[in-house]
A and B are shown apart, each in its own frame.
Chain A
Amino acid sequence: MIKVTALAKSYGNRPILSDVRAEFSSGHLTSLIGPNGAGKSTLLMLIARLLAPTSGIITIDGTDIASLAVGDYAKRVATLRQRPDCNMRLSVEELVTFGRFPHSRGRLTAEDRGAVNEAIAFLSLEPLRNALIDEISGGQRQMAFLAMTIAQETQCLLLDEPLNNLDMKHAVQIMQALRTLCDELGRTVIAVIHDINFAANYSDHIVAMKDGAVHAAGSVSEVVTESGLGELYGLDLEIVERQQGCLCNYFTQKGKTR
């Protein structure tokens, strides 16, 4: 379990996050939602230790994350950034193999190769195995980086907008893959997801952020309500409950957006 207590982050005098409290339970998929600039990425990067908090504590299974060595942390938490800005000439397979680095430290074992092959198969990247990551499409790149994160085989995965650039089918495929990670492998997944319908239909919990603080948190039915989401995004919306799941319609607005 990852627990965030009284977390604050500011750049200079400008507070970005203030007094954030949240819990992310083990073996569950938690979606982080909220408007642009709410501080979702900042929170995720703080948990990933890619940013240092101004104040506050983050614990993983009761241990303060600041007390863990970089190498050990990489065996427990894997991170996918919002925009992986890597323009190296590596094949998809090589990239995914780097996901094993925390375990192999460069010396690959049969187990490492197995994990790489599994991650590639898991996201159906087989046809792209030898393609260079600077010569494939944006969505394919996104999948390749996600495969690298999965190959890391950590208890916890932090994914910043994993559905970026993906078409409908691939988005569904990724969400199903994340569910499999939680349900069958007991992984803890925290993902920033902008598409409220994906968040509502695939998550166990939702943490909604607004203006650098937690606006609402809880199970899907607690957070995904017409009034709650309306207030979060400043939109009129309608939630349609169907047998296959719920559908949030915000495409047509009565007047100008608030």
Chain B
Amino acid sequence: MPSREVCLGVGRAAVKRATIPVAFTALCLVSLTVGVNRMSLMALASLSDEAWLTLTASRLPRLAALVLTGVGLATCGVILQHVVRNRFVEPATTGGLEAAKLGILVALSVAPASGALVRASLALGFCFAASLIYVALIGRLQVKNTILVPVIGLMYGSVLGAIAEFYAYSRNMLQSMQGWLLGDFSKIVEGNYEIVWLVLPVVCAAYAFAHRFTLLGMGSDVATSLGISYRAMVALGLLLVSTTVAATVVAVGAVPFVGLVVPNVVALRQGDNLARTLPSVALGGASLVLVCDILGRLLIYPFEVPIGLTMGGVGGLLFLLLIVRQRR
């Protein structure tokens, strides 16, 4: 018979493992019930038509968009970190996000009536090209300094951002650009957010290739001698990252820090073996986005603060804490 200590230990481990899923489920429920259009569970239970309409046309789409964005951004952050072999990169700090914006601007100016799919495709193309160039740039670097790599990414990103802004300015689109620059879930309703479901196949692919992405993190030599075509895997990784960035930017705008903070917290507690940590990364990302969204909806109720702002605050704070704690 197992001793009491063993039982306790097993119990504690199970509780620990269940923390994230339980928190995630609770956040989902809270997210569904918070909103200007009061919707009580009672009304739902009584099958009131109005309550159901609010649920299916607005709350559920919003929840889906929140979860998919969080899952997608955290997953693509961790993939990018393995590809670049640096913990401090995410699409928002390596030019990927700016390139996606540029892609959307081009789509809007060339074909103003184009749908989300066209915009996302152009965003994907631009983001993928920019990421390839960034990775090639980093590859040519003689000294791969932990700080230098993200700093180069930031500078590269600001060059791309300047090009995007100049392009928008010259076409009189600067104001509308700043509108969708900031991540915002408040306008999500059924029919205008579906592009974000592209995240789902990306996440599935990330799981399927989790071992390979972990190997990329061990460097090209180890990966090659263990039988991986390094370049092909890097290209696939960047393609997954670009797809996620494109889909989320088109649907909800830029949401910073998720791809940076969540993978770092998970790596500290569970390590870097993606096959094991991806579920935590994905759910952690979704939970963080949910928290920030709920905060944004409650802070100046009945008005909303866009998630770009709350995430900037919460995510930035978390990230600072992380760095300070690591130094100790």
Contacts and interface: CB of A to CB of B under 8 A. Distances in A.
Given A50-B221, A106-B212, A88 B227 contact: no
A202 to B, nearest CB: 24
Given A90-B273, A106-B275, A74 B211 contact: no
Size range of the chain A interface in the assembly: 20 to 34
A89 B227 contact: no
B214 A98 contact: yes
A50 B230 CA distance: 11
A86 B227 contact: no
A170 interface: no
Contact of A94 (B226, B227, B267, B271): B271
B138 to A, nearest CB: 15
Interface stretch (A77-85, A111-119, A183-191): A77-85
Size range of the chain B interface in the assembly: 20 to 34
B226 to A, nearest CB: 5
Contacts of B217: 86, 88
Contacts of B272: 88-90
B222 interface: yes
A248 interface: no
B219 A85 contact: yes
Contacts of A3: none
Given A98-B218, A106-B210, A71 B271 contact: no
A218 interface: no
Interface string B4-31: 0000000000000000000000000000
B228 to A, nearest CB: 7
Given A106-B211, A106-B212, A101 B219 contact: no
A81 B268 CA distance: 27
A132 interface: yes
A102 B271 CA distance: 22
Contacts of B227: 70-75, 101-102
Interface string A52-96: 000000000000000000111111011101001110111100100
A74 B225 contact: yes
Interface string A39-54: 0000000001110000
A232 B327 CA distance: 47
B224 A70 contact: yes
Interface string B212-245: 1011011101101111110000000000000000
A30 interface: no
Contacts of A49: 224
A78 B214 CA distance: 18
Given A88-B217, A94-B273, A102 B222 contact: no
A152 interface: yes
A27 interface: no
A85 B146 CA distance: 13
A34 to B, nearest CB: 22
Q: Of A50, A102, A106, A152, which is in contact with the most chain B CB atoms at under 10 Å from its CB?
A: A106
A86 B219 CA distance: 7
Contacts of A72: 227
Nearest to A48: B225
B271 A101 contact: no
Contacts of A84: 219, 222
A50 B217 CA distance: 17
Interface of A: 48-50, 70-75, 77-79, 81, 84-86, 88-91, 94, 98-99, 101-102, 105-106, 132, 152
- Closest 3 pairs between A and B when the two form their complex, measured CB to CB: A74-B227, A106-B211, A102-B227
30 contacts: A49-B224, A50-B221, A50-B224, A50-B225, A70-B228, A70-B229, A73-B227, A77-B225, A79-B225, A81-B221, A86-B217, A86-B218, A88-B218, A88-B271, A88-B272, A89-B267, A89-B268, A89-B272, A90-B271, A90-B272, A94-B271, A98-B211, A98-B215, A98-B226, A99-B226, A101-B211, A101-B226, A102-B226, A102-B227, A106-B210
